[in-house]
A = this chain, B = another copy of it.
């Protein structure tokens, strides 16, 4: 997404024609950019969906607001009523900040092997490499410095930001966004131990990525050991995530930055995984599971719900005193048990 934006100007009337919803107030009100309640000015449209921000709504200088049906009268500003103000706001922002159109063609400094099939409407940036037999779909944009390995297939209307690496044989669906430094299809980490050294297990699976997936900067997704690693439709992966070999990530699951998922884990659909969480190998997570940030998942989770681990933080000097007892819990429990016994015994012996 370019930082330059806001050259488009739309009236509320124009917007509801394209996106639905209902205008309350002057439908001729025109806006050219989105902003938060606090930062908005006359030219901006903002949104309100959190009752805690009522004061900010009352003070906003925005030209227009997107509100839910229950908040229809919460402001006197020109407004659009939508059942999902935040998602509506996202769509308005897309109208006001359109992607630059893809300039079809292959840059003169790109290297495209002759057996590669690049759609006429695709764009291959400077100093990019497209391997033997790779296929690049219509309207897809491959930015500078990307490496697209032999036999890779990329669908239509994808965007690969600069310096993405896709290794041989991996497959990406349509409308994917892959950010800079991401590596798709590196070898999984598989070794057999023999005589104190490690023997490499050839990693012969692929990475299969569905439609409407977004993959963050410097995120890595390993190819499968024998079968494939699978990223479902609509999955969103933030930056610096590690997905190991043979992991399956279910449709519409989202993971925040720095998550690590070990080999052969199977994550359900519509899950969310908080930043820095770790999911060990060969586990299964049900659909609709939420993992809190920094949580270590060591067993399969069979029921939807939110799961958490993690130590509360303290001032270091308090933590030092307290932490000594973290290793003595068994001893403390044993002392409690003995106290209970004694007290019960003394109760029995008393008249």
Chain B residue nearest to A257 in the complex (CB): B242
* 26 A–B contacts, CB within 8 A, in A order: A3-B204, A4-B169, A33-B204, A84-B194, A90-B202, A91-B199, A93-B204, A111-B126, A129-B162, A145-B145, A145-B147, A147-B162, A179-B183, A181-B218, A189-B236, A238-B244, A240-B240, A275-B278, A276-B296, A296-B310, A296-B313, A307-B315, A308-B313, A325-B333, A342-B347, A343-B346
For the complex, what is the distance from the CA of A209 to the CA of B90, rounded to whole Å? Answer: 27
Interface residues of A in 141-187 (CB under 8 A from B): 143-145, 147, 149-151, 161-163, 165, 167-170, 177, 179-181, 183, 185-187
For the complex, what is the distance from the CA of A194 to the CA of B194, rounded to whole Å? Answer: 51
A151→B4 contact, CB < 8 A: yes
Q: Given contacts A84-B192, A186-B216, A322-B327, is CB(A307)–CB(B314) below 8 Å?
A: yes
Interface residues of A in 205-222 (CB under 8 A from B): 205-206, 212, 214, 216-218, 220, 222
Q: Given contacts A162-B165, A220-B181, A238-B189, is CB(A297)–CB(B313) below 8 Å?
A: yes
B313→A322 contact, CB < 8 A: no
Segment from A9-17, A20-28, A116-124, A287-295 that makes contact with B: A287-295
In the complex, which residues of chain B have a beta carbon less than 8 angstroms from the beta carbon of A244?
238-239, 257
Q: Is A73 an interface residue (CB 8 A)?
A: no
For the complex, what is the distance from the CA of A317 to the CA of B330, rounded to whole Å? Answer: 13
Shortest A313–chain B CB gap in Å is 4
Q: Is A258 an interface residue (CB 8 A)?
A: yes
B310→A4 contact, CB < 8 A: no
Q: Is A140 an interface residue (CB 8 A)?
A: no
Q: Residues of A with Cβ closer than 8 Å to B?
A: 1-6, 33-36, 39, 84, 86-87, 89-91, 93-94, 97, 107, 109, 111, 125-127, 129, 143-145, 147, 149-151, 161-163, 165, 167-170, 177, 179-181, 183, 185-187, 189, 191-194, 196-206, 212, 214, 216-218, 220, 222-223, 226-227, 234, 236, 238-240, 242, 244, 252, 254, 256-258, 260, 262, 270, 275-276, 278, 280, 290, 292-298, 305-330, 332-333, 335-336, 339-340, 342-343, 346-347, 350
Q: Given contacts A180-B147, A198-B236, is CB(A312)–CB(B323) below 8 Å?
A: yes
B180→A183 contact, CB < 8 A: yes
Q: Given contacts A4-B168, A179-B187, is CB(A35)–CB(B313) below 8 Å?
A: no
A256→B189 contact, CB < 8 A: yes
Known: A127-B129, A196-B252. 17 other contacts (CB 8 A): A1-B202, A2-B151, A3-B205, A5-B204, A179-B187, A191-B254, A196-B270, A200-B214, A240-B242, A260-B276, A262-B275, A276-B278, A293-B296, A308-B320, A309-B314, A325-B333, A336-B336
